[in-house]
Chain A
Amino acid sequence: MHPTTHAFPENARKALSDERLQKVLSTAGTGFVEKRRKAAERLPEFEALRDQGRDLKNHVLANLDTYLEAFEAKVTEQGGHVHWCRTDQEARDAILGICRKANARTVTKGKSMIAEEIGINDYLEANGLIPIETDLGEYIIQLRHEPPSHIIAPAIHLSKEDVAETFRDAHTELPRDRLLDEPKVLIAEARQVLRRKFQEAEVGITGANLMIAETGSTIIVTNEGNGDLTQILPRIHVVIATIDKVVPTLEDATLVLRLLARSATGQEASAYTTVSTGPKRPGDVDGPEEFHVVLLDNGRSALLGTEFQDVLRCIRCGACMNHCPVYGSVGGHAYGWVYPGPIGSVMQPALLGVKEAGHLPNASTFCGRCEAVCPMRIPLPKMMRHWREKEFEQGLQPATMRRGLGVWGWFARRPALYHAATRMAVKALGALGRGKGRFARLPLAEGWTRHRDMPAPEGKTFQQQWAERKGKR
């Protein structure tokens, strides 16, 4: 997928003036927030589990090499294969190689953000294969040739009418005038169409919510059961996962699972948590004959030992975007690539570079709700500030902004002058704006006043008031 992250301001402006999208966004996500709150309140240990989840992932990251090697050894011991891949291209080639060797034509897919990250569908298609998304939301957006707009609810930006129209255009073998007025009917149709695809496919690709070093297992969590059909019906099961997904033991996986569903959808547990280990065993009458894990780095190891290491604790629950006022206003597509919301504002600069994705960490109100709900307590706002610093260091902001910051910096380092200047400015602005009490336009701050009025200052500066209060105490 070609990123349009550099165009975030235009993307956001378009999203804000898109009435249809705004209507969907006004109700989307609010359900997740309320459900998560209730689920967290129902489990008295929830906050303590968050602490342990953070500590567990920190321990894993500090011993990542040991756990990855242990995981690989266990996969191999049980007849599976691990393919180490440094880059997205290596991962695409590894998957294509497996498909070619199997003479595969049709490939079914469970939902995977890593598959989106490496753009596997386009690659397989370009090489003559037919990749088919099977998660309902992913299937819908694949038919529409759109990227996902939310990491756990990829079609959250669409209404049921949009879906009906998409199905009418895609499922041409069905009568054009059939009734498609209810989600129930749409789901039944997708179930029927996709059931055939599951049986045609030679290869099934799933992601992994977790990898377990103790047992060499991968875990996927779904509500639909599509991830299961896609790993038991085709002859070959390919798991695509990044190195940060490993945990030591089944007990440690359990700790993460207790946090994941509650943070994501507010469920106590997702309908299906599936632990997959190797290919089918002697005597098994179903299950895949081959089990492959495509283990991808793609920039993760480069974050170790940096101020961004903590972002590797992410378990991709989506709580940060569900609670984000910016995401809630512009939706997922404006972020221009795979990961939207606060996690995207930290991950996309890491994966795409600050030059491409520098707008994202700037598009933040720093309200802190993302960090407040993150099950892994990732300090997302702090990391966005680090990306802003990097952006400044690399000289990527517009010259006027850099000059402005330079002027401000010069004053800020001279407190007496700074205080005097602000006192004067506040007095002048207060006098000028006395009539209306606000400014609709201010020279040098037009970017700010374009969208809102600037209230005219009243009384004294913050510094003056602070000094007076301190004096009183």
Chain B
Amino acid sequence: MADTSSARAQILGGIRKALGSADGADEARRRLATHPRNLVPARAQIPHADQVELFATMATEVAATVERLPSLDEVPRAVAEYLAGLNLPAEIRVAPDPKLDAVPWDQRPTLTVTRGRARDPDAISVTGAFAAVAETGTLMLISGPEHPTTLNFMPDTHIVVLKRGEVVGTYEDAWDRLRAAMPGAMPRTVNLITGPSRTGDIEQRIELGAHGPRRLHILLIEDDAG
């Protein structure tokens, strides 16, 4: 590796010289430690029930589909019917997420279920979510052994099992939840996903499914228990 220490010293030295006396450093360090909120739009600062509705509305607006289910027990049926309705193969790659262990996949013997990271031929993935941001209809997925990031991007169809209690109002709420879950650390990847993959690069016409999933289907589980 090239030695970049002299470059480092020169860049930082140049910055300090241009800025003059650096008496703002304490304030900067305080900001890093306390991470104060900036202006947070009022849109999603509403009761939780309304946040859930706002999330569904905003996600639908960006071409995700949202299906509400009373409990995790309904997930196999919903997945099978969703795939059948689109003439897609009933083979799913499921995240090794303990949250999804409670899903009774064997109730639908026609579904072929394997678990692990996405492989090239996997066309359909099923994952959980860490949180969902109502403000913009955005899912927050974090990487880890239980949630390989490849599942969010490689398959054509991404099905997300989202519990009602995972919906928060604003991004700031989601960051607080992440800090509480992983104090002082960050997962390798935080994916904020707002609708399926898209591009407008050819004649500014929006088409879905550029590199990531063409379809993003969200199963919103009303029952938070379990």
B175 and A254 form a contact (CB under 8 A): yes
Say whether B55 faces chain A, with CB atoms less than 8 Å apart: no
Say whether A1 faces chain B, with CB atoms less than 8 Å apart: no
Say whether A408 faces chain B, with CB atoms less than 8 Å apart: no
A54 CB → nearest B CB, Å: 12
Cβ contacts under 8 Å, B197 to chain A: 223-225, 271-272
Interface residues of B in 19-39 (CB under 8 A from A): 19-20, 22, 24-25, 27-29, 31-32, 35-39
Say whether A239 faces chain B, with CB atoms less than 8 Å apart: no
Interface-centre pick from A83, A90, A306 (highest chain B CB count, 10 A): A83
Interface residues of B in 126-144 (CB under 8 A from A): 136-138, 143-144
Q: A94-B4, A135-B201, A213-B32 are in contact. Are A251 and B172 (CB under 8 A)?
A: yes
Say whether A101 faces chain B, with CB atoms less than 8 Å apart: yes
A65 and B186 form a contact (CB under 8 A): no
Number of interface residues of B (CB under 8 A): 79
Residues 277-314 of chain A, each 1 if its beta carbon lies under 8 Å from chain B, else 0:
11111011111000000000100011011100000000
A272 and B191 form a contact (CB under 8 A): yes
Q: State the CA gap A258–B170 with chains docked (Å).
A: 11
Q: A268-B136, A272-B212 are in contact. Are A223 and B171 (CB under 8 A)?
A: no
Contact of B191 among A226, A228, A243 (CB under 8 A): A228
A84 and B188 form a contact (CB under 8 A): no
Stretch binding the partner chain, chosen from A45-53, A337-345, A458-466: A45-53
Say whether A97 faces chain B, with CB atoms less than 8 Å apart: yes
A252 and B15 form a contact (CB under 8 A): no
B19 and A304 form a contact (CB under 8 A): yes
A224 and B212 form a contact (CB under 8 A): yes
Stretch binding the partner chain, chosen from B75-83, B99-107, B148-156, B161-169: B148-156
Q: State the CA gap A134–B212 with chains docked (Å).
A: 12
Q: State the CA gap A97–B3 with chains docked (Å).
A: 11
Stretch binding the partner chain, chosen from B65-73, B85-93, B203-211, B217-225: B203-211
Q: List 11 A-B contacts (CB under 8 A).
A: A62-B24, A63-B27, A93-B2, A159-B203, A187-B199, A226-B210, A228-B153, A229-B154, A251-B175, A267-B62, A272-B212
Name B195's closest neighbour in chain A (CB-CB).
A271
Interface-centre pick from B12, B25, B189 (highest chain A CB count, 10 A): B189
Total residue contacts A-B, CB cutoff 8 A: 285
A44 and B42 form a contact (CB under 8 A): yes
Cβ contacts under 8 Å, A153 to chain B: 200-201, 204
**Could you list 13 further interchain pairs (A-B, Cβ under 8 angstroms) beyond the known A85-B4, A183-B205, A306-B18?**
A65-B12, A90-B7, A94-B4, A97-B1, A195-B120, A224-B198, A224-B201, A229-B212, A268-B137, A278-B188, A283-B145, A284-B145, A301-B14
A31 and B204 form a contact (CB under 8 A): yes
Cβ contacts under 8 Å, A190 to chain B: 210
Q: State the CA gap A153–B194 with chains docked (Å).
A: 20
A275 CB → nearest B CB, Å: 4
Cβ contacts under 8 Å, A49 to chain B: 38-39, 41
Contact of B186 among A213, A277, A279, A287 (CB under 8 A): A277
Cβ contacts under 8 Å, A90 to chain B: 2, 4, 7
A interface bracket (residues with beta carbon within 8 Å of B): 35 or more
Say whether A156 faces chain B, with CB atoms less than 8 Å apart: yes
Interface-centre pick from A134, A153, A213, A254 (highest chain B CB count, 10 A): A254
Cβ contacts under 8 Å, A188 to chain B: 209
B188 and A279 form a contact (CB under 8 A): yes
Q: State the CA gap A187–B203 with chains docked (Å).
A: 12
Residues 70-97 of chain A, each 1 if its beta carbon lies under 8 Å from chain B, else 0:
1000000010011111100010011001
Interface residues of A in 156-193 (CB under 8 A from B): 156, 158-160, 163, 183-184, 186-188, 190-191
Q: State the CA gap A186–B29 with chains docked (Å).
A: 49
Q: State the CA gap A288–B190 with chains docked (Å).
A: 14
A272 and B192 form a contact (CB under 8 A): yes
Say whether A265 faces chain B, with CB atoms less than 8 Å apart: yes
Q: State the CA gap A137–B8 with chains docked (Å).
A: 34
Say whether A276 faces chain B, with CB atoms less than 8 Å apart: yes
Cβ contacts under 8 Å, B192 to chain A: 269, 272-275
Name A272's closest neighbour in chain B (CB-CB).
B193
Say whether A454 faces chain B, with CB atoms less than 8 Å apart: no
Contact of A281 among B118, B188, B196 (CB under 8 A): B188
Residues 223-267 of chain A, each 1 if its beta carbon lies under 8 Å from chain B, else 0:
111101100110000000001000011111011011000000101
Q: State the CA gap A8–B12 with chains docked (Å).
A: 35
Across chains A and B, which 6 residue pairs bring their CB atoms closest together, nearest first? Answer: A225-B212, A224-B210, A137-B201, A304-B18, A84-B8, A249-B35
